[in-house]
Amino acid sequence: MTTDTISTSARLHDPAVRSFASDNYSGVHPEVLAALAAANDGHQVAYGEDAYTARLHEVMSELFGKKVDVFPVFNGTGANVTALMSLLPRWGAVVCATTAHINCDENGAPERVGGMKLLSVPTTDGKLTPELIDKEAWGFGDEHRAQPLAVSITQTTELGTCYTPAEVKAICDHAHSLGMKVHMDGARLANAAASLNVPLREFTSDAGVDVLSFGGTKNGIMFGEAIVALNPEAADGLIYLRKMNMQLASKMRFISAQLLAMFEDDLWLKSAGHANAMAAKLRAAVDEIPGVRATQPTESNGVFAILPEGVADRLRTVFRFYDWNEAAREVRWMCSFDTTEADIDAFVAAIRAELGA
């Protein structure tokens, strides 16, 4: 039996099916798969004492312009919860946007696993400001209130918007002046870097972020993220917390090798930039369709829009995507590193057909 026969017979899905539901739906970038195969030969010390994880520390330090501590983990929820735990005492609380992933999409893991209270603040665009942080940053020293000792911001936000370096710095300066630490959920950090077109350090380490969840899965790797302690003195006990939270990979070289592959020839930026460009193309097209109303700026790889009654469900028979606010008929369309112009054209044609445009 040939390799082609084995691979074809093992495939359980139709590779021609495309969706705009999530950048998690896409496959693995071929260069990442090649890196995994290359890392697979021979033996390497387990639990992070391997050549790939050592190199990852060097590359991350180069990216952020300073020596950083790097802790590869399995997934984004694990990265966020573990990172936040390292910033807080048992009585600590986290100020975040109401739309934050830690607040809406992690099934209570910060509270149940991390033992922290989330103090969520409504925003119009998913972005916190010093003034919005102050809505929950109070009661310091009050034994009856969970102490707001950390701020968590998401870059890019769940609404597809992007913090500028100045906005991140203003948040960090304000939080630090109150004795609070700052965590950045960077599940789509690469999309932000591609959108801002500035060095990664400019809106992370240089801006004052203390600890970062560095995303990879949404940008073309198979699995894995990394916690990056940009200010190691602020993030306490990560080496123990990672194990406690079941995020310590024995064969860590396979997480590190994937992340390293993304940094080769700036693949991470190219992939994210392509996803952003496809979202921009989609946004430009739907802006010209009567009956479709965009609800957020398209600053990364997501488009948010309101459709007429019933249109979303009919479109979903061909292209899968999610409702964002079902009551308002608001939907979210996400583009990936492998979204093509033909995918966009076909989706736009389907929208036009449904609306008779």
Q: What digits encode the pLDDT tens for the residues 164-199?
A: 999 999 999 999 999 999 999 999 999 999 999 999
Q: Are 227 and 277 in a shared domain? A: no
Mean pLDDT across the stretch 91-109? 97
Q: What's the first-to-final CA gap in the chain, in angstroms? A: 51
pLDDT at 67 over 50: yes
* Chain position carrying tokens 């479109």: 315
Q: Are strands 117-121 and 302-306 parallel, antiparallel or unpaired?
A: unpaired
CATH number, domain with residue 97 = 3.40.640.10
Q: What is residue 356's predicted lDDT score, i.e. its pLDDT?
A: 85
Q: Are 44 and 169 in a shared domain? A: yes
Which domain-ending residue is among 265, 287, 320?
Answer: 265
Q: Are 10 and 66 in a shared domain? A: no
Q: In a 3-state reduction of DSSP, which class is residue 208?
A: coil
Q: Are 167 and 301 in a shared domain? A: no
Q: Are 164 and 210 in a shared domain? A: yes
- The whole-model pTM stands at 0.95
Q: Are 284 and 337 in a shared domain? A: yes
Q: Are 147 and 173 in a shared domain? A: yes
Mean pLDDT, all residues of the chain: 96
Which domain-ending residue is among 265, 280, 297?
Answer: 265
Which residue type is seen at 14? Answer: D
H helix intervals, 47-147:
51-64, 76-87, 101-104, 109-112, 130-133
Mean pLDDT across the stretch 229-241? 97
Boundaries of domain holding 287: 3-27+267-355
Which domain-ending residue is among 265, 284, 300?
Answer: 265
Percentage of residues in the chain with pLDDT exceeding 70? 97
Q: What are the contacts of 170-173 at 24+ separation with CB within 8 A?
A: 170/129, 170/130, 171/128, 171/129, 171/130, 171/133, 172/207, 172/208, 172/209, 172/210, 173/208
Q: Are 244 and 315 in a shared domain? A: no
How many residues are given for the chain?
357
Q: Are 58 and 85 in a shared domain? A: yes
Give the span between the Cα atoms of 110 and 77, in whole angstroms: 9
* Count of structural domains, the chain: 2
Q: Name residues whose C-beta falls within 8 Å of residue 236's C-beta, 6 or more positions apart in sequence.
A: 86, 87
Q: Are 234 and 111 in a shared domain? A: yes
Q: Label residue 250 by pLDDT band (50, 70, 90).
A: very high
Q: What is residue 8's predicted lDDT score, i.e. its pLDDT?
A: 63
